[in-house]
Structure 1
Amino acid sequence: MKKIIGILGGMGPAATLDAMEKIIKNTPATCDQEHIPVIAISFPDIPDRTASILSGGESPLNKMLAALRILEAAGARCIIMPCNTAHYWYDELKSSTEIHFLNMIEITCNKIVSEGINNVAILATTGTIKAGLYQSRLEKENINFVIPDDIQQGIIMESILVYKSGNEERAYQLLKPVIYQLKNIGVEWFIMGCSEIPVILKRDSNKVEYIDATEELVRYAIAWSYLDGDDI
């Protein structure tokens, strides 16, 4: 059997499904047998990541570790976690396993740096923004970036939560005006830094100015799967 990719998911369920669909879409397969084996854990009861970061809510770490142990036991050799905010705990998760564990924040920022992308806005949960998960790397690389103001960030967060509650159209209608506002102040690129945002903006998926962190993570994982070893 080919090397197995493990998805530590459920944060949220639609984002996990989106990651699986992107693995299929990006794999150069001509039949079932040429596709990459994937084991996905979707545990939606993992405590809210943003609430933990912002207000000291229950940490999701223990339940993420429990999901990681299942993926290990099932034979996964590479872990991806299609939740940007959950990468606040990435170092603790990575240090707890010997399995190759990819970092979607690092992979996405590497794309931005390598392609000379500039003038980017970060569309993400308030937890991801407040934790500075993208900002710290972008600052280090002297990339010009914009953080939505408090009103815009509130709308972005509302859009994410509305989507999670099942209202896809309302989520889209909330998010699009914020993107237009940011374009009007000179933003040229948008990091989809929450794994629900690519799903919310799915109808706009052909827009070249969108940098889909989930897609970048998946492409990296696929490239890993074709290597003889575990390092890329």
Structure 2
Amino acid sequence: MRESLTLGVLGGMGPAATLDFLAKLQAYTPAERDQDHIRVLVDINPKVPDRNTPGSGAGPVLAEMAGALAGAGADVLAIACNTAHAHADLIQRASGLPLIDMIATGARAARESGAMRAGVLGTKGGIRLYREYLAAQAMGIVVLEPERQEAFMQVLYRIKGGDLGKEVRREMKGFAEHLVKQGAEVVVAGCTEVPLVLSQEDLRVDMVDPGDLLARRCVAVCLGYEPLPQALSA
């Protein structure tokens, strides 16, 4: 068996979601000893400007992080944040490394569920990305109305602040149920904080957790079970 690849993770957006992603990486790796696990280089950087604020300057910061991970020895990258994928091209060109795309992974899983309309719980930036990727899968998208989207963002920031209590869980379940009532046949957790308070057991339709699927793909790519994505040219 060839030596496994080293994974570089751009994280900290937010920290709890990154730790959840790293725990899934460890759980999904077939290992009998320490040395069987993949090497992971992680930049948990909560100082990245808010990805939800236009012109915040998040792109250059993420590009710098990616370049540093490449310099430290990463072979392939993953971003533990849906919205940050808006800067995926910049990140790849700055690092020269391929990226295992979480948005593409989530959209493909939504299509494979057999659904034709996916409800997406995410930031405005994340929703824009999923709209594009779901359209490429010949799928429609269902999103929250503006007022509910604002309420969703307030709950999201409460989760980022460490609130994982019953009220937050109840509200997140309500947002998901509303998408289903509006015609969603599958619900995509389009923000990495969503699965911290929402699970498949809360829904009567399939739930896609792109972060969970990304962790599985990262393990598969690094262990050689799945081909390495093609890197963008500089």
Say whether the fold is shared (TM-score over 0.5).
yes
Aligned-partner SS, 2:16? helix
Distance 1:229 1:79, change over 3 A: same
Give the gaps of 5 or more residues in structure 2: 230-234
The structural deviation recorded for 1:89 is 0.9
Give the gaps of 5 or more residues in structure 1: none
Once the two structures are superposed, the pairs formed by residues 158-173 of structure 1 within 5 Å of their partners are: 158-169=154-165, 170-173=167-170
Contact 1:83–1:194 (CA under 8 A) maintained in structure 2: yes
- Percent of counterpart pairs with the same letter? 29
Matched, 1:107 2:109: no
The structural deviation recorded for 1:171 is 2.6
Q: 1:15 corresponds to which letter in structure 2?
A: A
Contact 2:179–2:187 (CA under 8 A) maintained in structure 1: no
Aligned-partner SS, 1:83? coil
Query: Aligned residue for 2:171?
Result: 174
Please point out which of 89, 96, 99 is paired with 1:98. 96
Query: Aligned residue for 1:216?
Result: 213
Q: 1:95 corresponds to which letter in structure 2?
A: R
Please point out which of 16, 23, 37 is paired with 1:35. 37
Q: 1:194 corresponds to which letter in structure 2?
A: C
Instruction: Tell me the matched-pair count.
Output: 226
Contact 1:126–1:157 (CA under 8 A) maintained in structure 2: no
The structural deviation recorded for 1:134 is 0.7
Q: 1:153 corresponds to which letter in structure 2?
A: Q
CA distance in 2, matches of 1:133, 1:108: 11
Once the two structures are superposed, the pairs formed by residues 15-30 of structure 1 within 5 Å of their partners are: 15-30=17-32
CA distance in 1, matches of 2:202, 2:221: 24
- Please tell me the root mean square deviation across aligned C-alpha atoms, in Å: 2.2
Query: Aligned residue for 2:86?
Result: 88
The structural deviation recorded for 1:185 is 3.0
Query: Aligned residue for 1:153?
Result: 149
Contact 2:7–2:38 (CA under 8 A) maintained in structure 1: yes
Give TM-score, length-normalised by structure 1. 0.88
Contact 1:11–1:83 (CA under 8 A) maintained in structure 2: yes
The 10-residue stretch of structure 1 (194-203 or 4-13) with the greater mean CA deviation from structure 2: 194-203
